[in-house]
Amino acid sequence: MPELPEIMSRAREMNRALVGKRIAGIEVVQPKCLNVPVKKFAASLVGARIAAVTSRGKWIFVETTKGWLLLNLGMGGELLLVKGGPLPEKRRLVFRFTDRTSLAVNFWWFGYAHYVAPERLDRHEMTKILGPNAIDLSAKDLWAMVKGRRGGVKSFLLDQSQIAGIGNAYIHDILYLAGLHPLETLDSLGEEDVARLGEAIRAGLLPAIKKGGAFYERNLYGRKGGFVKEDILIGYRPGEPCPKCKTAIEKIKTGGTSSFICPTCQRRKGKKQRRPRR
C-alpha cells in the first residue's frame, strides 16, 4: 500500500512531467472511482491545463486551470505516463493530453479519482480531515498535538486525521528509531520523547522519499522504487538481529495489528518511570 514516500514521489514526478499539459480527453473504465457522473467529470476537466501537482498523506492533488483532480491509489496501483504506443491493458482511467501523451491510472483493488471545483477544496470530505504531512511536522507541532492526549502511540501515528502519510510499511521503523514500544501511551511521553519521535518520523520516511518510494510500487515511467527490503531496519524482519543491539527482532500482536520491535531497544516505560500526573 503506498504511503507518504511513494505518494510524494509520484506527485513530484507528475509535477515535473505533467505541468503545462492540457487534457484533451478522458476515458473512464471504472466509473465507481469517481465522485461525480462520468459526463460531469469529463466536462469539468477536459480542456484544463495542469498547473501543479502536490500531495498530502496518501492523496495526490492535481491542480488544474479548471479545478482539482484528487487521486488516491488505495491499496496500490500505477500512474503511468504513456508517450505514444499502446495504453497498458490494466487501466481504470486515462487522461489524454493534447501533446499525444497520456496518463494511465490503474488501481489494484480500488481507488479514487475525484473532481473538486476551484475554491471548493476545503469542502472535499475525504481530504479536508487530513492532518499535516508527516515530514512537515516540527517537534513543537508534534508536542502540541501529543500533550494531554491519551491512547497508544502507534494508533496515533497511523491516524490520518492527526498525521498524514504513515501506514503499516513505515510505522515499525519509525517507532524503532524513536525507541518507543508500539503500545506506549501518549500520556507517558515527555517533550524529549516527542522530539525524538519527530526526528524518527523524518528519519523513517526520508530515505524512502530519496529513493523514489518502495520497490513494490512503480513510478510514472514504470520503474520500481529504489527503497528495497534491505533498506528496512526492523519492519517485517522477525528473527533477524537488531541493527543496534543484535537482539532478535520480534513480531508481536498489538491490538488488531502486528508490530515488529526490538524487545531491547523498545521497552515500554515502566510505571515507576512514568512521571506523576497532575
| Interface contacts to Zn ion, rule CB under 5 A | 242, 244-245, 247, 262, 264-265
Residue number with CB closer to Zn ion (162 or 266): 266
Residue number with CB closer to Zn ion (59 or 260): 260
**Helix (H) or strand (E) segment spanning residue 25:** strand 23-28
Tell me which residue has its CB nearest to Zn ion: 242
Rounded least distance, CB 167 to Zn ion, Å: 23
CA distances from 213 to 2, 39, 165 (A): 8, 34, 13
The total of other beta-carbon atoms located within 10 Å of residue 85's CB is: 7
Rounded least distance, CB 230 to Zn ion, Å: 18
Rounded least distance, CB 5 to Zn ion, Å: 24
Determine contact, residues 41/26, Cβ cutoff 8 Å. Answer: yes
Q: Cα–Cα distance between 36 and 6 in angstroms, integer? A: 27
Grid coordinates representing 207? 530515505
Rounded least distance, CB 184 to Zn ion, Å: 16
Residue number with CB closer to Zn ion (127 or 266): 266
Which of 116, 8, 126, 24 lies closest to 63 in space, CA to CA? 116
Residue number with CB closer to Zn ion (206 or 245): 245
